[in-house]
Structure 1
Amino acid sequence: MKILYQDDYYVAVNKPAGLLVHRSEIDRHETRFAVQMLRDQLGRRVFPVHRLDKPTAGVLLFALRPEAARRMMAAFMSDSIRKTYLAVVRGHTSEMATIDYPLKEELDKMTDAKADPNKQAQPAVTHYRRLATVELPHAVGRYPSCRYSLLRLSPETGRKHQIRRHMKHIFHPIVGDTTHGDGRHNDFFRTHFDCRQLLLAATGLAFAHPYSGRPVDITAPLDQVYSRVITELGWENLPGQF
């Protein structure tokens, strides 16, 4: 994996789409995990301090020491980390908005068997800004054309699948989301753009270093498939989009 940042305490990589962060009962057949791959790459133990969904690509941060992991996890829990994502969504969104919609925890039958199914919804806030739109002359569903927006998103909180669920909530699901998305538009992108992945990427992670206090700003480029889709939609020359 491409290393984006490294010091004596932390290392960040650009996680590919489709790669699990660590071993999970949900995907027993998987044999490749970011934790194991980075451990083998560096020749030392690494400690994940946050997570990205399996289909989400982008900045993934690890600690190199247990105490460093505890400090960074506390920062994530306090929502003091600034996270930036790029997404392609169905429809034309507002130019900018804040989605303030509490989310109930999504429970998995295998891994969350002991969790409380009646737990109250937790506060969840996502800010977004629209960077570009496009309308294509293809009928998807009942409309004679299809519309898409390119968004930069900044989640203020870190709930499970927060961005994907929030975009579904406002009826602008992310393209390629097979759980919270629109299957017709997912099929359209597979057929017309040969794109079979979630068009959501963690492009930025910024924080105050837990040891030195200095600002750290890590960015990740889009992968080949995502970059190609951006180009084919006519968005490749947008200034400062990532």
Structure 2
Amino acid sequence: MANEIPNDLDQTVEQAQPVELEILYRDAHLVAVNKPAGMLVHRSWLDRHETRFVMQTLRDQIGQHVFPLHRLDRPTSGVLLFALSSETAALMMPKFAGRDVKKTYHAVVRGWVKEAAVLDYPLKEELDKIADKRAAQDKEAQPAVTAYAPLAKVETAIPVGRYATSRYTLVEMQPETGRKHQLRRHMHHLSHHIIGDVNHGDGRHNRMFRDNFDCHRLMLHASRLQLAHPVTGETLDIRASVDDTWQRVMAAFDWAPSLLVPADNI
């Protein structure tokens, strides 16, 4: 499974041209953008070669400082929310730390997911070999809960491994906890690896998608963020559309774009 290509090479997606971020929501306190796949949220000494980051790009684009409230992994696209002041950030952080923010994701996974369910499967903390080399290695697994539901299925005539055909499912997921790589690891646990995942996925299916659908990204998208505004109290419902790669895969599988409109409940 797959160590077929280095992580940093696999997750670079259309980064050659200057990026203008799509702003999904903005007021005097908050701003949300549609984060492109392959783009880091902020600078990290672990990725010194990178020159473009969502935080700095957004700051330059709107001409004011921004304060990240949560994160999306580099290969994941979708809704990413920032505060426009440290005071608003302080109000928002407890909401993200608790369960006051509802997140909805879509993913393409290998195999057929038969029915909706809730996976309650604790995860041990994933430690980085460099950044966490001094961290305790024997921590107990932490609670991790993900609700998921199949939206569409397909069987292709393209052989993968010893099988003459290959099967895939479009799933919607709502994490109830926020563990590192939770969705990717939970789908791995279910043997429904997310396509394009080089760490927890299946390299054979990743290669099939690259070769047949020009898909060089993790097929995981943060579609929706629902929360109460920290100042006004109004309910915010922020949604992000998918990129060209997602649209290409959806069209190839004859999956209607409306399937990516997040449901109110799984």
1:164 to 170, 179, 184: 184
**1:97 pairs with 117, 120, 141, which one?**
117
C-alpha distance in structure 2 between counterparts of 1:70 and 1:110, whole Å: 30
Q: CA RMSD in A?
A: 1.1
1:20 equivalent to 2:43? Answer: no
Greater shift in the superposed pair: 225-234 or 45-54: 225-234
What are the Cα deviations for residues 134-188 of structure 1, in whole angstroms up to 9, with x where unaligned?
0001210111110000001100011100000000000000000011100000000
CA deviation map 1:45-93 (0-9, x unaligned): 1000000000000000000001111221110101211000010000001
Are the aligned partners of 2:250 and 2:257 in contact in 1 as well (CA < 8 Å)?
Answer: no
**Structure 2 partner of 1:109:** 129
TM-score (norm 2): 0.89
**Unmatched runs of 5 consecutive residues or more in structure 1:** none
Inter-partner Cα distance in structure 1 for 2:44 and 2:171: 30
Q: For residues 71 and 17 of structure 1, do their structure 2 counterparts lie closer, same or farther at Cα, with a shift above 3 Å needed? A: same
1:203 matched to 2:228:
no
SS at match of 2:65: coil
- Cα deviation code 1:94-132 (max 9, x no counterpart): 220111101111001222233221111110000011100
Alignment of 1:122-137 (within 5 A): 122-137=142-157
Structure 1 residue aligned with 2:89: 69
> Given the alignment of the two structures, is residue 152 of structure 1 paired with residue 150 of structure 2, yes or no?
no
**CA distance in structure 1 between the aligned counterparts of 2:134 and 2:25, rounded to whole angstroms:** 37
Q: Measure how far apart 1:237 and its partner are.
A: 5.0
SS at match of 1:69: helix
Structure 2 unmatched ranges of 5 or more: 1-20
> What code does the residue aligned with 1:43 have?
G
Q: Distance between the aligned counterparts of 2:260 and 2:74, measured in 1? A: 27
After the TM superposition, list the runs of 4 or more consecutive aligned residues in structure 1 that deviate by more than 2 angstroms: 236-242
Whichever residue aligns with residue 195 of structure 1, its letter is C
Which residues in structure 2 correspond to 1:3-42 (within 5 Å)? 3-42=23-62
> C-alpha distance in 1, partners of 2:256/2:185?
27
Q: Is the 8 A contact 1:127 1:153 kept in 2?
A: yes
Q: Which secondary structure does the structure 2 equivalent of 1:11 belong to?
A: strand
Q: 1:227 to 1:237 in 2, by over 3 A?
A: closer
State how many pairs are aligned.
242
Matched, 1:84 2:104: yes
* Residues 167, 73 of structure 1: alpha-carbon distance in 2 compared, 3 angstrom cutoff: same
Aligned with 1:118 (options 115, 119, 138): 138
TM-score w.r.t. length of structure 1? 0.97
Report if aligned partners of 1:189, 1:195 keep a CA contact under 8 Å in 2: yes
Whether the 8 Å CA contact 2:151–2:259 is kept in 1: the answer is: no
- Structure 1 Cα separation of the partners of residues 257 and 70 of structure 2: 32
Report percent identity of matched pairs: 56
Contact 1:98 1:128 in 2 (8 A): yes
| Letter matched to residue 109 of structure 2 | V
Q: What is the distance in 1 between the residues matched to 2:134 and 2:56?
A: 27
